[in-house]
């Protein structure tokens, strides 16, 4: 059984930001390839998550607009009355209820089974942030 | 370590369609049973996803209505201005932000631990489509 | 390959309830520790799910308010016309479409890689319930 875990450090520059990490993850897979197994992508945050979706710059702009409008930041949230870290981020946590901390992609016959139009995204919901961490874990047999 | 990966081919017939794949997955499990491990269900698409929920025909109709109304197709989305594939599907990708590409179900003592009211669904958000692929992977020990 | 699966029994006391199960899961991990691997948290229900988010009591209240308002219970849902179990819970199933039945957290070098602000929650969407079950599975190498 082969097990490998690493981290991709990220910094974000906008309140909501959709970052394509597909190439990073493919590089990690090619350097730590298994013949059969799976790769798990894990966001170690409570206001940043993982999504698998299409990479197209106009679509990423639509995503930011959609998320911004669905749960506007400035509402009377209790979490924002005495913010521990000075951030008014209740809206980020609420959007996060509908997101994924982890996604798992199968690997079979040496191939990462990402679909043709699928890219892997880190979804920042409470940026900008200097230090974000995305965990990448490979499990399987070489 | 036992590893097995296969695909369920699907074709969809409506813009939004909720397809119960539980029996397919149970069949795959019974033919490739492990004593302990897990099964991962993975949608290889950026506008179709996986959900675990209750199978009841009226509820599946409610789901289609709910998803259709929450993010209506005809809005001024940037992604729809020059669609790569001719599809006005920004709304499908946006709904997909809240969905799961993968779900993982534990297997213990030879039993797939699906709860009493749980069924496994393929969620088509941009149909109809001739060819969709759901990946099923079993990991564990026999 | 080490495989361990157990269940946390839960009972819930409100229609929507956000229960922090982080300590339970850390205890299970410390009693069944692997050096490298992962832990999968799985809700065996179709109206209760798993989330990873921040534990802060005001935020948990915001979550309940948010979920209650986003999909109000009393609408003309078809699923509620002849409820199998007497429960008007279409709204719970619809919210569940956006939630996770499972989340997977990596374990590396003997450490569960939960982020600093991350807690693990059981999300009850159709309570109160006498008996709910959260499955916890550890896979890896000791």
Give C87-103 pLDDT, tens digit per residue. 999 999 999 999 999 99
Name the token pair of C67. Answer: 């979920």
Asked whether the bond before B50 is cis by omega within 30 degrees of 0, the reply is: no
Name the token pair of C107. Answer: 């374990």
Confidence at C65, pLDDT banded by 50, 70, 90 = very high
Longest CA pairwise span in chain B (Å): 53
Domain ranges of chain B: 2-141
Question: Using one digit for the tens of pLDDT, what is the confidence trace for B28-39?
Answer: 999 999 999 999
Which stretch of A39-53, A78-92, C68-82 has the lowest confidence by average pLDDT?
Answer: A78-92
Name the token pair of C42. Answer: 């799985």
A 87-116 residues inside an 8 A Cβ radius of C: 90, 93-94, 96-98, 100-102, 104
The predicted structure's pLDDT at residue A142: 94
Average pLDDT over residues A65-92: 93
Check pLDDT > 90 for residue C86: no
Tell me the C-alpha distance between B12 and A107, whole Å: 25
Tell me the C-alpha distance between C137 and B106, whole Å: 7
Among residues A12, A75, A77, which one has the least CA distance to residue A49? A12
Task: State how far the alpha carbon of A4 is from the alpha carbons of A34, A37, A59, C140, in Å.
Answer: 10, 11, 33, 11
Which residues lie across from B36 on neighbouring strands? B141
Check pLDDT > 90 for residue A84: no
C 1-60 residues inside an 8 A Cβ radius of A: 1, 36-38, 51-54, 56, 58-59
Tell me if C51 and A96 make a contact (CB, 8 A cut-off): yes
The predicted structure's pLDDT at residue B84: 76
In this complex, which of B56, B62, B141 lies closest to C84 when CB atoms are compared?
B56
Helical residues (DSSP H) of B1-142, grouped into ranges: 22-31, 57-70, 90-96
Question: Using one digit for the tens of pLDDT, what is the confidence trace for C93-131?
Answer: 999 999 999 999 999 999 999 999 999 999 999 999 999
Tell me the C-alpha distance between A141 and A107, whole Å: 10
A72: exposed, middle or buried (Cβ count in 10 Å: 0-12, 13-18, 19+) = exposed
Cβ-count burial C94-122 (b if 16+ within 10 Å, e if not): bbbbbbbbbbbbbbbeeebbbbebbbbbb
- Nearest residue on chain B to C5, judged by CA atoms? B108
Among residues B141, B136, B65, which one has the least CA distance to residue B107? B141
Query: Contact at 8 Å (CB) between A3 and C1?
Result: no
The predicted structure's pLDDT at residue B82: 84
Length of chain A: 142
The phi and psi torsions of B5 (rounded to 5 degrees) equal -135, 135
The predicted structure's pLDDT at residue B76: 94
CATH number belonging to domain C2-141: 2.60.120.460
Tell me the C-alpha distance between B97 and B85, whole Å: 20
Structure pTM? 0.98
Tell me the C-alpha distance between C107 and A42, whole Å: 11
Going by the DSSP 8-state scheme, the letter that residue A84 receives in this structure is T
């Amino acid at each position: 059984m082969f097990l490998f875990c690493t981290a991709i450090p990220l910094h974000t520059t906008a309140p909501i930001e959709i970052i394509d990490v597909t190439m990073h993850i493919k590089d990690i897979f090619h350097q730590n390839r298994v013949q059969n197994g799976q790769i798990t992508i894990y966001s170690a945050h409570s206001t940043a998550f993982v999504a698998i979706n299409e990479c197209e710059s106009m679509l990423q702009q639509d995503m930011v607009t959609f998320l911004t409008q669905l749960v506007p930041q400035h509402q009377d949230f209790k979490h924002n009355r005495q913010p521990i870290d000075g951030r008014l981020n209740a809206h980020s946590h609420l959007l996060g209820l509908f997101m994924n901390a982890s996604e798992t992609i199968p690997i079979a016959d040496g191939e990462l089974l990402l679909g043709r139009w699928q890219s892997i995204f880190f979804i920042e919901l409470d940026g900008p942030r200097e230090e974000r961490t995305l965990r990448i874990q490979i499990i399987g047999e070489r």
